[in-house]
Amino acid sequence: MNDLDKFREDTKNWLDKNCPPSMRSGADPTIPVDEVWGGRNAKYKNPESKIWLDRMGEKGWTMPTVPKEYGGGGLTKEEVKVLNEEMFVIGAKSPLLSFGIWMLAPVLLEYGTEEQKKEHLPKIIKGEIRWCQGYSEPGSGSDLASLATKAEDTGDTFLVNGQKVWTSYADKADWIFALVRTGPKEPKHDGISFLLIDMETKGVTTKPITLISGKSPFCETFFDDVEVPKGNLIGELNAGWTIAKKLLQHERAFISNFGLAGAVAGAGSGRDVVSIAKKRLGEENGKIKNSFYRSEIASHKIKEHAFGLTLKRAGDEGGKASATASMFKLYGTEHNKKRHELMVAASGVDGLAWDGDEFDENDKNLTRAWLRTKGNSIEGGTSEVQLNVISKRVLGLPTQ
């Protein structure tokens, strides 16, 4: 038996013993399901969620490739593949959702000092600290680098004042990684630093944002004379923009999958435009009865199929993702908006249900989902920004 086979056997055994029944496929549907984000104030409706997180966190398997010295699993790529396969076999739930894992950890690994890595990575991996992201500001919009939240060097600490917006789950997070202006006299991209801030520090407050679709995970976060130790600076002073750009690219790719993922998840669930149209507009010989809707839906489904093939092609080609990330962000979110418009239109007045017993839950969810899609083409870089990026960086069109 080679090492990898051995690892597979050990993993299988470990999962068998350690993955609680309700964390596997075929779990009792009456047991409540947690969305596990970890953190100081995490609450669990199902105690096994916590057990599963702790056991996986202890082994470092929430970030299996990170070296053991930082609390990770220290596994090779091949071993990670085996781990994923064995988790898939038993339908094991992912133990932890985390901006710390998705966004901050890669930054720490690349730019953090030894001390910073040892301090923060284990807590991310174990889900002890929940992170949120502080980039946008009320005045900045697409021009992220125009941010005004300032961090003044007062000797031992930075004194932070300003306001962030669109900080997802800031009201539930323990720490925030933020872009702040440390060089007010430098050209705007050259005066930004990447700073970690404990949200329990005096002077940090948050306020949730209600969207047109209703409540949202987004918050406004305010900094009022917040003192931050200088050791919390990641990377060089005034070199935060480089880090930010990397993270943004990552985020863009992440959002671009929304459109298709939604369409795939929707198919067969009744939450797809064809099923809705057949149900609400009628069906004749297997066809959507109203030909005016049918023709628009057909064009839309064709675009969806073509977009799906494009995502697949990009995957099969490998590696070129960054050149086309803007296209995927643009197309994915615009397509998703259109998809929801069609579902709403095909649903008639029921597609505009807001609340109350007279409406079906699916319809009410659809209304809110439709409204929520309007933000997708704004957050993570607007569609206009993506078009600018494509025309300049991909097509090489000149600047005026």
Count of CA atoms in the C-beta half-sphere (13 A) of 193: 24
Q: Which of 82, 297, 325, 343 touches other proteins (CB under 8 A)?
A: 297
What element of type H or E holds 153?
strand 150-153
C-beta of 297: minimal distance to a copy of itself in Å?
Answer: 11
Q: Which of 272, 392, 268, 382 is nearest to 334 (CA)?
A: 382
Strands 131-134 and 175-181: parallel
Tokens at residue 185, please?
């006299």
Of 142 and 154, nearer to a copy of itself (C-beta) is: 142
Nearest distance in Å: CB 362, other proteins? 12
**How near is the Cβ of 353 to other proteins at its closest, in Å?**
7
Binding mask of the shown chain, residues 121 to 160, with x at each position contacting other proteins by CB under 8 A: ---------------x----xxx--x--------------
Rounded to a whole number of angstroms, the minimum distance from the CB of residue 50 to other proteins is 34
Angle between helices 273-281 and 291-317 (to 10 degrees): 170
Does residue 192 interact with other proteins by CB under 8 A? no
Interaction partner, residue 391 (a copy of itself, other proteins, none; CB < 5-8 Å by kind): other proteins
The residue with tokens 């997070």 is 173
Q: Which is nearer to a copy of itself, 153 or 284 (CB)?
A: 284
For residue 390, the partner it binds in a copy of itself, other proteins, none, with Cβ less than 5 to 8 A by kind, is: other proteins
Tell me if 146 contacts a copy of itself by CB under 8 A.
no
- Asked if residue 29 binds other proteins (CB under 8 A), the reply is no
Structural contact between residues 181 and 164, judged by C-beta atoms closer than 8 angstroms? no
Which CB sits closer to other proteins, 22 or 347? Answer: 347
Distance (Å, rounded) from C-alpha 299 to C-alpha 295?
Answer: 6
- 159 vs 267, which CB is nearer to other proteins? 267
**Residue 284: beta bridge partners?**
287
CB nearer to a copy of itself: give 233 or 297: 297
Number of residues interacting with other proteins: please give it, by CB under 8 A: 84
The structure tokens listed for 166 are 């669109």
Give the integer Cα–Cα distance in Å for 376 and 254: 11
Q: Is 185 in the site for a copy of itself (CB under 8 A)?
A: no
Given a contact cutoff of 8 angstroms between Cβ atoms, the answer to whether 241 and 192 are in contact is yes
| CA–CA separation, 343 and 333 (whole Å) | 15
Restricting to residues 280-319, name those near a copy of itself by CB under 8 A: 291-292, 294-296, 298
User: Count of CB atoms within 10 A of residue 341's CB?
Assistant: 17
Residues 330-389 contacting other proteins, CB under 8 A: 330-331, 337, 344-345, 347-356, 358-359, 367, 371, 374-375, 377-379, 382-384, 386-388
Beta carbon of residue 349, minimum distance to other proteins (angstroms, whole number) = 5
Q: Does 322 bind other proteins (CB under 8 A)?
A: no
316 touching other proteins, by CB under 8 A:
yes
- Secondary structure, 3-state, 158-173: EEEEEEEEEEECCCCC
Please give the residues from 369 up to 388 whose contact with a copy of itself meets the rule CB under 8 A. Answer: none
d(CA 166, CA 217): 9
State the amino acid at position 156 in one-letter form.
D
Q: Within 218-257, which residues bind a copy of itself (CB under 8 A)?
A: none
**Is 344 within 8 Å of 337 (Cβ atoms)?**
no
Residues that bind a copy of itself (CB under 8 A): 291-292, 294-296, 298, 400
